A and B are shown apart, each in its own frame.
Chain A
């Protein structure tokens, strides 16, 4: 029988983890139990993070939002402050599985599971999120672009767990765009997923961050595309060029969901369409619906 720890607070959780480093951390279980059952995998000991109150809930301050690691995507989707100032995060939360999965899947779990196709991860890159982790040695703050060390590997040391995700409030003139390309609108694992955050000043792109998923071994920033766009004047030729750079700066693979060629091509089209939409001002939710065109 699996030994299940249900700590009543964070200190107790960290102590258990320090004493029993092989304990498997579980939260919404929407990835873990799929593999458990398919592979007949069993765990000697698990620690239920949902039992730890400090890890749950959304705290709002004037300049940032702090999301507990075990906050469910449905809670993120329905949160007024997220909808108002972090609309891309609300949008991505609504595309993680269906209602039943959104009620269980957590943002910390999406990070720790570290799938290249994790929907929220490119959005966290684009929003410049920071991950707060804690272990017996104390807390650390990790900028999101340093979180993913390799395929399904995150910067978590033995005995550490993810406590919160902190996102600075975007400036008022920031546009946020999100696009997931999957086989169907609901419940799909992505073929390509893109989050973009840009600040426009006088028709030029003052700052831009683009995160992309399912196009490399980890979620990635599109550094070369960003470098070309940053400081440039917003015009259709820039969108064309950005799309071309984006499609060549990633290294996707062929797998059951798509091909490398398709992913590179579609990534370029999505980035191009996002920039065209910035020019036309169509930057609201689902503004990239025509990205395949």
Chain B
């Protein structure tokens, strides 16, 4: 019935068990308890998307997910995009096309784009903008972000 004895879930493919307050923010659990600081805290109120992670493959703001609600579920953070030292193609595209400025919004944007591309491998610009509607870039570097995504798409990187 309660969170006593710990709450188990899958984090980046590994089983973890966390004995913290069941209303702890998932963001704090992954950053501080599980020592995965890639997900960033921007606003702490669901406005900016910097803390986005995938919960059962759906992007969510981890600042607004209580630990109790990830019990038995699958969480993926930005740290899981890289595999064995090899960057995800979306990360490569951001490096190549200059999609990163200060970098605070980048983890949330990359994990959200991963979810988009897993559902729609060739989104148009409108679809990309809609998917990223909940991700703010404080540097206002949106053109670089869109350019990076487009470089990755079929027919992209022609300019």
Q: Give the B interface residue count (CB, 8 A).
A: 34
Could you tell me if B65 and A37 are in contact, using CB atoms closer than 8 angstroms?
no
- Interface range on chain A: under 10, 10 to 19, 20 to 34, or 35 or more? 20 to 34
Tell me which residues from 93 to 115 in chain A have a Cβ below 8 Å from any Cβ of chain B: 97-101, 103-104
One of B79-87, B94-102, B127-135, B148-156 contacting the partner:
B127-135
Could you tell me if A48 and B68 are in contact, using CB atoms closer than 8 angstroms?
yes
- A28–B22 Cα distance when bound, in Å, is 14
> Is A251 in contact with chain B by the CB < 8 A criterion?
no
**Residue in A5, A33, A50 whose CB lies within 8 Å of B64:** A33
Cβ contacts A148-188/B at 8 Å (1 or 0 each): 00000000000000000000000000000000000001110
- A175–B6 Cα distance when bound, in Å, is 51
Tell me which residues from 195 to 223 in chain A have a Cβ below 8 Å from any Cβ of chain B: none
> Is A79 in contact with chain B by the CB < 8 A criterion?
no
In the complex, how many angstroms separate the beta carbon of B45 from the nearest chain A beta carbon?
Answer: 4
Residues of A within 8 A of B104 (CB): none
Asked, given contacts A103-B59, A104-B60, whether A34 binds B45 with beta carbons under 8 Å apart, the answer is: yes
Could you tell me if A37 and B63 are in contact, using CB atoms closer than 8 angstroms?
yes
Chain A, Cβ-Cβ closest to B45: A34
Residues of B within 8 A of A46 (CB): 22-23, 66, 68
Chain B, Cβ-Cβ closest to A46: B23
Which chain B residues have a beta carbon within 8 Å of chain A's beta carbons? 1-3, 21-23, 25, 44-47, 49, 52, 55, 58-61, 63-66, 68-69, 71, 112, 115, 130-136
A-B pairs with beta carbons under 8 Å apart, 17 shown: A1-B22, A2-B3, A3-B2, A4-B22, A4-B23, A4-B68, A33-B65, A34-B46, A37-B63, A46-B22, A46-B66, A98-B134, A99-B133, A100-B59, A101-B46, A103-B59, A187-B133
